[in-house]
Every structure is written in structure tokens, then in C-alpha cells.
Amino acid sequence: MKHIFVLLTTTFLFVKNGQAQEVIQRKFEKMGSSFEITLVHSNPIYAQQLIDESIAEIDRIERLISSWDKNSQTSLVNKMAGIRSQVVSKELFDLILRANTIARLTDGAFDLSYASVDKLWSFNREEITPPSPSVVEASVAKIGFEKIKMDTEKQTVFLLEKGMKIGFGAIGKGYAADRVKSLLLEKGVEAGIVNASGDMSAWGTQPDGSPWQVGLINPLNKNKVFSWFPLLNTAVVTSGDYERYLLMDGKRYGHIINPKTGYPSQGVVSCTVFAPKAELADALATALFVMGSETGIDFIDQLPNVEALMITDNGKIIASKNIDLDENI
Ligand code: AMP
Ligand code: MG
């Protein structure tokens, strides 16, 4: 996502304990979005190999959670909706379990099963004729995380009703960013940032010891960063309506669906969440869009180790209680 980016304040080469530490960066396209991996390492050739391994890991995750790939485990779960349970890998099972925990926590604002209404809307930045209310209602009836039955012993997932579907659009990139960070940590990389199209997982510091900095841009005023935040072993994720949206009666609606109504969300243009893991931040950023700014920030204020900042379509910036905007601007 374009209104969030990282500031590198150090030169790309820095000597630490007698060893030259370099900042190695690569941009690439995956999961239909742009990724960027930034590593601090003394061996740039090895660092490039690690980026290759990271890309292979992202491909693997995409094959697991993709709804486009007819043979993915996710597609099989969807195909068997209303028919029977489907055995899945432990990894996918656990991801769905965690997603359902967030669904419960957000009272269904984030819900993997939103996907049954996905086909009703196309977010091509154009004016559309809305589907008839009865069609929307029929699709909404298929939504409901409590109808995703999971059997821990058998490691199966069963979507109870025909026509139900799950989709990982709101959590997949965050999960991928976390996985790549873990992989790189296991390989001994002491510092870096994985940026999955604005879903960022950071660890360590820049070579000179200063923290990574992330800049937020107000989509309503794209020319300047309105706030800088240090990233200290945290993840930061932004959901925005500026890339995928549609117009109805000249009004703008973002690509996040309110699972209770089946209609696209309105009112929030950008939502940034800071959390220990990108997966959690990703799911919460999507949920906040549905909750709206006031309910959303109230909700975040009840959670430990999570902060958020939202921008409404009338230009209001609202932040959770531990963010001091004056200090960060
Ligand atoms: P994000 O950019 O992380 O907010 O994800 C947005 C994407 O998540 C959309 O393009 C959909 O694929 C999916 N999505 C939309 N609405 C919801 C929802 N209420 N709960 C879960 N996923 C959703
Ligand atoms: Mg999300």
C-alpha cells in the first residue's frame, strides 16, 4: 500500500564490530502485490540467497491460501462447503483457528467467510449498479465464522452451508510477512523489514543502531508524510480504500465488506495498526474499517500491545490512546 513507507536514515554501508554491515534491499511482485525485503547483513551474496528463500516461502504460502488456485487446500475447503469436512495441513488449520479468534474478538467485523459476497462486487474504481438487495441478503446468509466447523483431532475444516467460502485477502499478506521474518531470524539475520505491500514486519535496527522509521501519508493529502513512527520489533499494517474501491451514486466505497450487511464499507479511508505480529495487525486493520473510527479506536484501546490510527473520509485523524500525534508529526 502506497501511503506508508520506510525511511532509511543510515548510509547503506556501516561498520559494526569491525565488520561492514550492509543494507540489502529487493523489490518484487507476489500475491498480486509489491513486496520489498530489506536486510542488514555483512555478506550481500548470502543475503540475496536468503531473499530468494523468502520468495520461495511466500510462493508456498500463496499456494496454501489462494482461492484462485483450484487445487489449493483453501479451494478444496470451499468446494466441500455444505458437503463434508476437508482435511487440511496443520499450518492452514492453525491459521483459520487464529482468524476465527479474531473474528470472535471483533464481533465478526473481520470474518474469513465474508468471501461468499465477494463475487457481487467489483472494485474497479468505477460507478456500478448495485446488486439487488435480495441477492445481497441471500449471500450474507452464508457469512458467519461460527459456521466454520473445525475438528482439532482430525484436523478438518467444514463450512456448514453450501455457497459458503473463506478468503484470506485480509490476513494473508500479514501472515506471509511474519513467516518471512521468522525464517530470516532463524537464519541469523539480526535486522530487517519485510514489507508486503504495506504490511510490515520489522526487527532489529538500522546498521548505525537507530530504529527503522515508518512514515504515514494521509491519502487525502498524499504529498507529505504527516507522521513518523519508530519500528522496534513490531509490525505495522495499513488498510486503505484508495486502490480498490467502487462508486455508487457518486459515493465511494472501499473493498472491505461489512459481513453483517454484505455491502462495502464507507467512511474510513485509511486504517493503520501497530501490533507485535503483522497477521494480527492485518486482520485488525480490516476489522477497524468495518467498525468505523469511534468504535474501532475504542476497541483498540481495550487491547494490550496494539495501537491504531484511522483517517476518515472527512479528513479526521483519530488515534488510540498511546499514540501522541503531536509528538510524532
Ligand atoms: P486488507 O487490505 O488487509 O484490509 O484486506 C482487504 C481484503 O480482505 C479484501 O480485498 C477482501 O479480499 C478481504 N475482506 C474484505 N472484507 C473482509 C472482512 N470483513 N473480513 C475479512 N476479510 C475481508
Ligand atoms: Mg487486513
> What value does the mean pLDDT of the chain take?
91
pLDDT of 222:
75
Q: How confident is the model at residue 328 (pLDDT cuts 50, 70, 90)?
A: low
Cβ atoms of 257 and 263 closer than 8 Å: yes
Task: List pocket residues of ligand 1, CB cut-off 6 Å.
Answer: 110-111, 114, 167, 169-170, 239, 255-257, 259, 282, 285-286, 290
Instruction: Compute how many other C-beta atoms are within 10 angstroms of the C-beta atom of residue 161.
Output: 14
| Of 168, 173, 167, the residue nearest 58 (C-alpha) | 173
pLDDT at residue 329 tops 50? no
* pLDDT tens-digit readout, 114-124: 999 988 888 88
DSSP 270-305: EEEEEESSHHHHHHHHHHHHHH-HHHHHHHHHTSTT
pLDDT of 12:
53
* pLDDT tens-digit readout, 78-111: 999 999 999 999 999 999 999 999 999 999 999 9
| Of 196, 197, 234, 182, the residue nearest 213 (C-alpha) | 234
Per the listing, cell 476465527 goes with 100
Of these ranges, 14-18, 68-72, 86-90, 116-120, the one predicted with the greatest mean pLDDT is 86-90
| Of 225, 267, 274, the residue nearest 245 (C-alpha) | 267
What's the gap in Å between 152 CA and the centre of ligand 1? 26
Atom of ligand 1 nearest to the CA of 173: 3
- Alpha-helical regions (H) of the chain: 44-65, 73-79, 90-105, 133-140, 172-186, 278-291, 293-301, 325-328
Per the listing, cell 535486522 goes with 191
Q: Which three cell numbers stand for residue 12?
A: 547503506
pLDDT of 327:
56
Nearest CA, atom 1, ligand 1 = 170
Q: Which ligand is nearest to the CA of 283?
A: 2
To the nearest whole percent, how much of the chain has pLDDT over 70? Answer: 93
What's the gap in Å between 195 CA and the centre of ligand 1? 18
Cβ atoms of 200 and 278 closer than 8 Å: yes
* pLDDT tens-digit readout, 277-311: 999 999 999 999 999 999 999 999 999 999 999 99
Q: Which ligand is nearest to the CA of 112?
A: 1
Judged by average pLDDT, the poorest of 181-185, 250-254, 273-277 is: 250-254
Q: Which ligand is nearest to the CA of 254?
A: 1
Nearest CA, atom 15, ligand 1 = 256
Q: Which three cell numbers stand for residue 284?
A: 485488525
pLDDT at residue 3 tops 80? no
Instruction: Tell me the best of 4, 78, 114 to mutate to test the pocket of ligand 1, counting ligand atoms within 8 Å of each CB and taking the most.
Output: 114
What's the gap in Å between 112 CA and the centre of ligand 1? 8
pLDDT of 2:
41
Instruction: Tell me the best of 121, 286, 289, 290 to mutate to test the pocket of ligand 1, counting ligand atoms within 8 Å of each CB and taking the most.
Output: 286
d(CA 237, CA 128): 29
* pLDDT tens-digit readout, 206-244: 988 899 988 888 777 777 788 888 898 899 999 887 778
Q: Which three cell numbers stand for residue 31?
A: 500475491
pLDDT of 9:
56
DSSP 131-185: PPHHHHHHHHTT--GGGEEEETTTTEEEE-STT-----TTTHHHHHHHHHHHHHH
Q: How confident is the model at residue 4 (pLDDT cuts 50, 70, 90)?
A: low
Q: Which three cell numbers stand for residue 227?
A: 507522521
What letter represents residue 23's amino acid? V
